[in-house]
Amino acid sequence: MGEENKNLNSPEENQTDDFLHVASVKEDWGGDGRGRMNLSARRTAISKEYLLRQYQLFDINTVQQENGWRVSGMPKNVAPGSRRLLTWHDCGASTSRIVLPSQFKAPSGIFTADLELFVLKGAIQIGEWKLSKHCYSFIPAGVQVGDWQVLGSDDVEILWMENGYLEYKNLSNNHPDAKLNEFIPVLDSKLLPWGKTDTVQFIKASKKWLRKDANGGGVWLLAILPHYDGLYAEIQCYNEEGYCLAGYCDIGDYRLGKDCFAYVPSFTIAPWHRTDDGGLFFIRVDRDLSKISTVLSYAHE
């Protein structure tokens, strides 16, 4: 996180050296927090207060850009980037779109919270791993990763998702309790097969899993095929973040097009979904959607 949000999002009680044993926020749909995504009760770029059961849709390019952004704890000689903060929770969890300049280089180390990355543009090297466009990485808290360097002469754009109060620590070994079994150094989504979605509402869609968390939720790409019509509104009994990578989907009267973002709190009545041309979306959800009654069609006046 940048210094600006270190105090805003991080109560002192969460700033502990024993960072791996800080309890996750319980999900507001009744989950126990095992998924560690902390998507519940977030504030957003268009609402500084949490709005209960209200769908929030906005164009990321309209969000104020914070220049001079850097990861808290990284050396001052590391070239700063820029950030558009999209959602955040008081526990420190947040989702941002960041831009790192071509001269960005950072030393190896660990982070004090789980970090998820999805590359939107450009390429970056992390240790021995290269992440290019539409590559995904999940770095659990306490897992040591190698040096960072932006590749080529272009800046790199990344969806940067911190699942708690995140700080860099210059350590050369893994924390003894780090969840190495969950580490995803790099996953190139272009190489993954498309599969079926879990809900009847999206039968004209395909899904690529990027990561499944302990609650059965997780992260995936969703391709909604042309001529999709959901017919009815939906009650979404979970928390969701979505980013449009290409195409569009009309949600009620709002066209969720490229670079648009959606935050959907649990038990929101999401308006009628439809698209003529289809679209590609990056999705994060904190509940298992294959379970009965997690997504409900809702016909109302």
Contact 106, 170 (CB under 8 A): no
pTM over cut 0.85:
yes
Cβ atoms of 37 and 217 closer than 8 Å: yes
Burial 139-148 (b: 16+ CB within 10 A, else e): bbbbbbbeeb
| Secondary structure, 3-state, 85-114 | EEEECCCCCEEEEEEECCCCEECCEEECCC
Structural domains present in the chain: 3-189 (2.60.120.10), 191-298 (2.60.120.10)
Q: Which of 214, 223, 228 shows the shortest CA–CA distance to 192?
A: 223
Each residue of 161-194: b (16+ CB within 10 Å) or e? bbbbbbbbeeeeebbeebbeebebbbbebeeeee
| Cα–Cα distance measured from residue 226 to residue 140, given in angstroms and rounded to the nearest whole number | 36
Q: Which two tokens stand for residue 72?
A: 């808290």
Q: Return d(Cα 14, Cα 11) in angstroms, integer.
A: 6
Per-residue pLDDT of the chain (301 residues; tens, 9 = 90+): 444 443 334 443 344 468 888 888 889 999 999 999 999 999 999 999 999 999 999 999 999 999 999 999 999 999 999 999 999 999 999 999 999 999 999 999 999 999 999 999 999 999 999 999 999 999 999 999 999 999 999 999 999 999 999 999 998 899 999 999 999 999 999 999 999 887 766 777 899 999 999 889 999 999 999 999 988 888 999 999 999 999 999 999 999 999 999 999 999 998 999 999 999 999 999 999 988 888 888 766 5
